[in-house]
Amino acid sequence: MAMKPTTADLPKGVTLDLPEGITIEQLQAHEMSPPHVEGIETEEMDPARERSYEFPLAEARFKGVPELDPGAFGLAIHNVLKDIVIGYILRLRRNGTLAHAGIWQWAQTPADARAGWNKDTRMHVASVSKFLTAVGLVKALKVKNISYDAKIAGYLPAYWRKGPGIDQVTFRHLLTHKSGFSTGGSGSDYGLMKRKVAAGVSTTGTYDYENMNFGLCRILIPIINGNISKAATFGVPPGFGPILDKAWDVTTIRNYVNFMRGRVFSPAGVKNNPGFAPGPGPRALAYPVPPTNKDGWNSGDLATVSGGAGWRLSVKEVLDVMDHVRRRNTIISRETAQYMLDNYFGIDQAIETAAGTIYNKNGFWKKSDGRTEQSVAFFFPNDMEAVVFVNSSIGAENLSLRNLVRDAFKNSLK
């Protein structure tokens, strides 16, 4: 098999026209699909396969509209998690103000740094990244006055071949997992997405939960925002497609990060340059259940799967973004935020309860040896939001975190 050309094979005298800060050496070293992002188990979004904890009380009948009891909610979750996880952190807010906080055990066990959880402990939030990316895409579309129902084909890299049906895929389709793309797994690296676009789609409009839908968003956002021309070739001569792919991959990742930091995270007060690689501050590692003396898992730099996964944030930082998105009008308007929720943009479920509709986004990232990172973000009625991080599976049965928080909410209404 012929080797793919590298930057070292470029004709003499060819100088690449790379964006400032990106070097040929970076392209040479860049892996579009590094080994540590392969073989990962992510959430399936199949409620029939999710295992739920059976609370002793069903949702009560109320004469009026009930409200959540924060203390009862936190206790219900704690009583389930405390003996069957390595550690967790829960924070519940009302109107952006803390209403309940709960923590348990280790962000890093004594086998590592012997560190407990706190509000600033960052962890890979996995697919909660999709909600964040959805906010970023909605922001970019609003600024440029582009409809959610506009076709994505006109905003994809010009050198990509567009297969049958691609001209029918809209931004709304990506945001709601109805694009028709199907990868058969959690893959969303640049090369895979390019191949899937070339192959085309035939089931647009049918729901299929795919990381690729939001992986494409991190390529589309810089093009929509004007950071990259869709016709960019970066000076790469014909016949050197793998180098052009790398240039696009590195450039879109960098511009997506900068857009999210500047237009989503910064307005919400999130500082310290959130990204995709573990930083120097407090951070959680992932562990198996039952626990062993094995070191915790550092899931590594997840830039190449960004958009659908990848962001490393604290519970506080996720809640700060949720607060500003929902009510502060600093990123998008309140009305736009509610439209996102009601139309399933970047979320998994909208569930009717006696107190009103609750909305959630789940995140799950599991290594083959059982070490797990998982998170969930909920929008509750009465201007309340909750976020929970767990750095292991939930017991040997691998209970659903999303269902646990949902049922704890229902059983804590007063």
Q: Which amino acid is at 262?
A: G
Rounded distance between C-alpha atoms, residue 314 and residue 120, angstroms: 5
DSSP three-state, residue 124:
strand
Q: State residue 121's pLDDT score.
A: 98
Q: State residue 43's pLDDT score.
A: 86
Architecture of the domain spanning 57-126+275-352+368-410: 3-Layer(aba) Sandwich (3.40)
The H-or-E segment that residue 377 falls in is strand 372-380
Contacts of residue 36, defined as CB under 8 A and 6 or more positions apart, other chains included, come to: 299, 300
CA-based nearest residue to 413, from 51, 94, 53, 58? 58
**Can you give the pTM of this predicted structure?**
0.96
Contacts of residue 319, defined as CB under 8 A and 6 or more positions apart, other chains included, come to: 91, 93, 385, 387
Rounded distance between C-alpha atoms, residue 344 and residue 173, angstroms: 11
Domain ranges of the chain: 57-126+275-352+368-410
* Element counts in the chain: helices (H) and strands (E): 10, 10
- In terms of Cβ atoms closer than 10 Å to its own Cβ (0-12, 13-18, 19+), residue 35 is exposed
| Spacing of C-alpha 331 from chain mean position | 18
pLDDT along the chain (414 residues), means of 10: 62 85 91 94 84 77 91 98 97 98 96 96 98 98 98 98 98 98 90 98 97 98 98 94 96 98 98 94 94 88 98 98 98 98 98 97 96 98 98 95 97 94
Q: State residue 63's pLDDT score.
A: 83
Q: Pinpoint the alpha helices (H) of 46-189.
A: 70-81, 128-143, 171-175
Q: State residue 1's pLDDT score.
A: 42
Q: State residue 47's pLDDT score.
A: 80
161 has which bridge partners?
none
